[in-house]
């Protein structure tokens, strides 16, 4: 492919700025009912540059991307490409203009194979109305190899793990040679190794003259990858920065509108020799969990670090009864614990915030209030002993959670589908907190949650732990493990080692995960 | 391009914005269109035929006509809300009628015992259907078609294909012919059942579970809901409601006919789908189902008053269904586009 415009240096900085913007957006506005999702936002994206779009949950980032993609129509404003005004009223228009998208939510066809999914929307593969699969397969194979995919093209998407699905989704947007690629939180569900591969691809795209619009809540990668940063707040343009001119703290302040403390490393209390709430011994479910032995102590936050495919999600699902183990034993509070399903786990005080909010966590067409109470509807009884539920109580609980997690919604009766991605995530977390579990397992709880809300979420989790709840936290963002008392490192279906909180730095954990580190506790 | 604008004040946590600043007319059409159809039929005929249509007796008559379909349809609403189809309800209704008549006539059961037995037996058939769907994993459409056909066979075996006449039908017939305060019993049965089922679906944990299973079965399971059990129970409710309608039908005719209730299948499906376009955006619910049944009954009644041939009723019912659901669908699409 020949780059339309080439910067002097790959991922160029000041000197390399081409004269005009490739894509420019002027005065874009969009409202939903009473909510002004975008309010006169202007933006310029240059060829060969990575332009980051950041902002708190519900700031309007995804709305902007959806308008560019032709999925939504703006109320006002205009979009120009290469200096010419364009109208994008349907996704095909965007495709024809050479714009490519990775949306925040997965939209693959589960029943289709990887190849079929990647061929959707891939022009040039049709001959006489028939799909000629060979070039498509060749192209898809190349793209996936570049992304380090470890699954075949003929696998059904339904059989892939969440991060593998993201790889497919990412690959699909890279099939065509685009002039601009917009990525809405592409790394949210990726672990360190996959994220690294993505960064390489983003840099490569920029080096080839493609403009990249990059949305993320992980500010380190934003500062690392991008040249220009646009900050949205409540639908309005709040700040513009050059990445070289700002540091993380300034950027955070600019996003949240106030000071946010960095994650404080939890210095374990001296009496760390608390007894175990849950004991797991020799838990096996091939191929992903191959003999896990682990204790979860009372009132601790135990992190589980690992790379993709290490078996962390599967381990969590076994403990929660979402899947049955082939062998091994678990005890909770000294009593046997063999949940036949999530209902038994919840009844005994074990809750799991699942990995993927839309398919596993939410009823998108139901209200916020309905979703928050779903796992604990027994607590909404009208009166004790009667089987009737009070709608008022459900609303009251939802309001409390909206308050506590700063969920941005126009009312607790709003469909969850209408919330922004990060706010949907907060709904899932509050649903399981409402169960008042004794053991709370969180699988990537902060996916899509903005910096400010993330800090608040840690505080809430810490407070729960201090009140006696045991917490197990799986995260791909190793910096989050700073709040943990201990961190277990999982590799190839087994627990490699357990590191004490103060030693669980990002570098130590990363090298342990790759199996190259010698550090231990 | 590195100027920094002064940041506007951020809204506090839990910031709740006013909603409904601008009314979305398409949404109104989508939700209330079906009710408008009902109201306009009523208004038009009240004006045209004040002496025959707009009378208390006729209103009661319409409700009485609605009762039997309504009971099947409200029961059917449960599996539909849970995301499953039940094609066996018509045959189950016939079965309920045949069994009730048979128990009274052939086995000498007292009436209450016969009714109770019918409810239990049809409930068990629903249980079997549910287990076939959840345990074996047969698609509900096929499982209920299969079970329904078997039930039809049982009907023939039990009766030899002839209607079961009750020799001394008086006590049994009273069930549907007697009235209280001028309103026939079936209307009470319908209304009480509607209230009961509404509460179950909207104000109990079980009802929430049914809705959750229909919305996203995996999310429901991970929320601690026993998805399979919920599904089985919805089939049981649908079956027992159909059985009850069968009993009332047998009482009305004084006999149990092998295929007496078969036609309830289509009427019940029409009513529930019509109802899904009432007040909600394409979700099944009890009130909608009830309105669906009544709308069709009002239309039939109006046509009877006009002296139109029977086939007009079917033309009307079919057109109405497609119209209501179609308008709802278009309106929802438009409402979404302009939200
Ligand atoms: N279909 C919709 N109906 C109603 N409101 C909507 C809809 N889509 C988005 N909104 C509202 O618009 C606002 C902006 O949402 P958007 O998804 O663009 O946020 P975002 O910046 O991408 O947030 P996040 O970081 O959480 O993904 C939010 O307040 C959201 O509730
Ligand atoms: Mg978003």
| Chain A residue numbers touching B226 (CB-CB < 8 A) | 341, 343
User: What's the pLDDT at B339?
Assistant: 54
- CB contact under 8 Å between B221 and A342, yes or no, is yes
Q: Return the sign of the alpha-carbon dihedral for residues A292, A294, A296, A300.
A: negative
* CATH fold of A263-349+437-521: Rossmann fold (3.40.50)
Residue B324: what pLDDT?
76
Radius of gyration of chain B (CA): 23
| CA proximity to A451, closest of A277, A222, A218, A177 | A218
Q: pLDDT-derived band of residue A135, with 50, 70 and 90 as boundaries? A: confident
* Beta strands, E only, A165-271: 180-184, 211-215, 228-233, 236-242
ipTM score assigned to the predicted complex:
0.83
Contacting residues of A for B211, CB less than 8 Å apart: 363, 366, 370
B18 touches chain A (CB under 8 A): yes
pLDDT tens digit sequence for A333-391: 989 999 999 999 999 999 999 998 988 999 998 899 999 998 888 788 887 777 888 88
Among the listed residues B264, B270, B224, B303, the one whose alpha carbon sits nearest the alpha carbon of residue B72: B264
Q: Which ligand 1 atom is nearest residue B339's CA?
A: 3
Asked whether B159 and B98 are in contact (CB, 8 A), the reply is: yes
Task: Compare CB distances from A34 to B21, B215, B281 and report the shortest one's residue.
Answer: B21
Predicted local confidence at residue B8, as pLDDT:
36
Lowest-confidence range among A175-189, A292-306, B28-42? B28-42
Residue A126 has a pLDDT of 61
Counting ligand 1 atoms within 8 A of each CB, the residue from A28, A32, A411 with the most, and so the one to mutate, is A32
From A389's Cα to the closest Cα of chain B, the distance in A is: 5
- Give the nearest partner residue to B339 out of A33, A320, A363, using CB atoms: A33
Determine the pLDDT at residue B249.
92
Helix H or strand E encompassing A170: helix A162-174
Is the pLDDT at A268 greater than 80, yes or no?
Answer: no
Complete domains list, chain B, with CATH: 40-338 (1.10.3470)
Looking at the predicted structure, is the pLDDT value of residue A6 above 80?
Answer: no
Of B3, B205, B283, the CB nearest to A377: B205
A7 backbone dihedrals φ, ψ, rounded to 5°:
-80, 160
Phi first, then psi: give them for residue A179, nearest 5 degrees.
-90, -30
Confidence of residue A520 (pLDDT cuts 50, 70, 90): very low
Query: Are B19 and A256 inside 8 Å of each other by CB?
Result: no
Distance A214 CA to ligand 1 centre (A): 17
Q: Are B228 and B217 in contact (CB under 8 A)?
A: no
B212-241 residues touching A, CB cutoff 8 A: 212, 215-216, 218-226
Which residue of chain A is at minimal alpha-carbon distance from B214? A363
Asked if A360 and A165 count as a contact pair (C-beta separation under 8 A), the reply is: no
Ligand nearest to the CA of A231: 1
Low-confidence ranges of chain B (pLDDT < 50): 1-22
Reply yes or no on whether the pLDDT at A162 is more than 60. Answer: yes
Residue-wise pLDDT tens digits, A183-216? 999 888 787 778 888 898 899 889 988 999 999 9
* Closest residue to B2, CB basis, from A32, A240, A406: A240
Residue nearest to atom 19 of ligand 1 (CA): A58
pTM: 0.84
Task: Report how far residue B216's alpha carbon sits from residue A345's, in angstroms, rounded to the nearest whole number.
Answer: 20
Q: Please give the Cα distance from B89 to B96 (Å, whole number).
A: 10
Interface check B39 vs A, CB under 8 A: no
Collect all residues with Cβ–Cβ distance below 8 Å to A360 and sequence separation of at least 6. A354, B218, B219, B222
Q: For domain A21-98+177-260, give the fold.
A: Rossmann fold (3.40.50)
Q: Where in chain A is the domain with CATH 3.40.50.300?
A: 21-98+177-260, 263-349+437-521
Q: Do A363 and B337 touch (CB under 8 A)?
A: no
Q: Please list every protein residue whose CB sits less than 6 Å from any atom of ligand 1.
A: A 32, 35, 37, 55, 57-63, 104, 408, 418-423, 448, 450; B 339
Indicate the helix (H) or strand (E) that contains A78. strand A76-81
B198, closest residue in chain A (CA to CA): A388
Q: A282 vs chain B: nearest CA distance in angstroms? A: 24
**Whole-number average pLDDT of chain A:** 85
Quote the pLDDT of residue B6. Answer: 35
Q: How far A397 CA sits from the closest chain B CA (Å)? A: 13
What is the model's pLDDT at position A14? 41
Q: Which of A228, A377, A392, A457 to mutate to test the interface with B (most CBs of B within 10 A)?
A: A377
The reply to whether residue A239 touches residue B7, judged by beta carbons under 8 angstroms, is yes
A450 CA closest ligand 1 atom index: 25
Distance B299 CA to ligand 1 centre (A): 44
């Amino acid at each position: 492919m020949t780059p339309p415009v080439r910067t002097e240096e790959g991922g160029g900085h000041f000197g390399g700025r081409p004269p005009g913007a490739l894509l420019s957006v002027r005065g874009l506005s969009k409202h939903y009912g009473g909510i002004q999702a975008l309010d006169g936002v202007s933006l310029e994206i240059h060829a060969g540059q990575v332009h980051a779009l950041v902002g708190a949950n519900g700031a309007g980032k995804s709305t902007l991307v959806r308008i560019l993609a032709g999925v939504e129509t703006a109320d006002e404003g205009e979009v120009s490409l290469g200096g010419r005004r364009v109208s994008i009223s349907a996704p095909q228009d965007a495709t024809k203009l050479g714009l490519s998208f990775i949306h925040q939510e997965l939209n693959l066809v589960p029943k289709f194979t990887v190849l079929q999914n990647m061929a959707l929307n891939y022009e040039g593969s049709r001959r006489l109305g028939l799909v000629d699969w060979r070039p498509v397969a060749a192209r898809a194979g190349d793209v996936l190899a570049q992304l380090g995919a470890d699954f075949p093209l003929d696998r059904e998407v339904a059989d892939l793990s969440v991060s593998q699905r993201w790889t497919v989704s990412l690959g699909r947007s890279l099939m065509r040679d685009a002039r601009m690629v917009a990525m809405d939180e592409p790394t949210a569900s990726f672990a360190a190794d996959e994220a690294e591969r993505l960064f390489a691809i983003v840099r490569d795209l920029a080096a080839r003259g493609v403009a990249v619009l990059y949305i993320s809540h992980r500010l380190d990668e934003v500062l690392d990858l991008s040249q220009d940063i646009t900050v949205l707040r409540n639908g309005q343009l709040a700040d513009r920065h050059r990445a070289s001119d700002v540091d993380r703290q300034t950027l955070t302040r600019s996003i949240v509108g106030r000071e946010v403390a960095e994650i404080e490393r939890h210095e374990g209390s001296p009496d760390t020799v608390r007894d175990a709430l849950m004991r797991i011994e020799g838990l096996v479910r091939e191929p992903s969990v191959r003999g896990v032995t682990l204790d979860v102590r009372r009132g601790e936050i135990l992190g589980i670090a690992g790379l993709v495919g290490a078996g962390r999600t599967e381990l969590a699902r076994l403990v929660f009864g979402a899947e049955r183990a082939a062998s091994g034993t678990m005890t909770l509070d000294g009593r046997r614990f063999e949940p036949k399903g999530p209902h038994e786990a919840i009844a005994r005080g074990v809750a799991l915030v699942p990995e993927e909010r839309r398919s596993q966590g939410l009823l998108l067409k139901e209200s916020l209030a309905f979703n928050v109470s779903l796992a604990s509807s027994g607590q909404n009884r009208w009166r004790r002993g009667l089987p009737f539920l009070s709608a008022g109580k459900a609303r009251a609980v939802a309001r409390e959670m909206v308050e506590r997690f700063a969920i941005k919604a126009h009312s607790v009766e709003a469909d969850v589908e209408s919330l922004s991605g990060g706010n949907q995530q907060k709904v899932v977390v509050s649903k399981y907190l409402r169960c008042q579990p004794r053991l709370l397992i969180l699988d990537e709880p902060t996916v899509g949650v903005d910096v400010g809300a993330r800090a608040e979420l840690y505080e809430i989790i810490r407070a729960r732990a201090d009140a006696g709840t045991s917490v197990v936290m799986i995260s791909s963002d190793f910096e989050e493990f700073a709040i943990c008392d201990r961190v277990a490192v999982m590799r190839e279906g087994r627990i490699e080692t357990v590191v004490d909180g103060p030693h669980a730095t990002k570098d130590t954990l990363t090298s342990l995960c790759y199996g190259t580190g010698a550090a231990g506790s | 391009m590195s100027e920094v604008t002064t940041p506007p004040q951020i809204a506090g946590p839990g910031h709740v914005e006013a909603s409904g600043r601008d009314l979305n007319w398409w949404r109104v059409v989508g939700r209330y269109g079906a009710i408008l159809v009902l109201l306009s039929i009523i208004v038009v005929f009240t004006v045209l035929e004040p002496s025959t249509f707009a009378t208390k007796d006729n209103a009661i008559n319409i409700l009485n006509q609605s009762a039997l379909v309504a009971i099947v349809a409200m029961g059917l609403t449960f599996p539909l809300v849970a995301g499953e189809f039940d094609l066996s309800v018509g045959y189950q209704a016939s079965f309920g009628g045949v069994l009730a008549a048979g128990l009274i006539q052939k086995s000498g059961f007292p009436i209450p015992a016969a009714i109770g037995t019918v409810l239990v037996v049809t409930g068990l058939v629903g249980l079997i259907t549910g287990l076939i769907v959840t345990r074996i994993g047969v698609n509900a459409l096929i499982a209920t078609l299969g079970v329904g056909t078997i039930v039809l066979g049982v009907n023939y075996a039990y009766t030899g294909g002839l209607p079961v006449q009750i020799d001394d039908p008086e006590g049994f017939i009273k069930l549907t012919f007697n009235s209280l305060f001028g309103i026939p019993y079936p209307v009470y049965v319908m209304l009480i059942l509607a209230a009961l089922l509404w509460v179950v679906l909207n104000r109990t944990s079980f009802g929430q579970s049914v809705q959750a299973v229909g919305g996203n079965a995996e999310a429901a399971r991970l929320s601690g809901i026993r998805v399979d059990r919920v599904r089985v129970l919805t089939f049981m409710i649908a079956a027992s409601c159909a059985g009850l309608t069968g009993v009332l039908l047998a009482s009305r005719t004084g006999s149990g006919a092998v295929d007496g209730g078969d036609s309830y299948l289509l009427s019940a499906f029409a009513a529930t789908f019509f109802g899904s376009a009432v007040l909600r955006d394409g979700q099944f619910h009890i009130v909608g189902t009830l309105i669906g049944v009544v709308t069709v009954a009002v239309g039939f009644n109006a046509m009877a008053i006009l002296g139109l041939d029977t086939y007009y009723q079917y033309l009307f019912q079919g057109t109405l269904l497609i119209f209501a659901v179609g308008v709802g669908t278009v309106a929802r699409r438009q409402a979404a586009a302009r939200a």
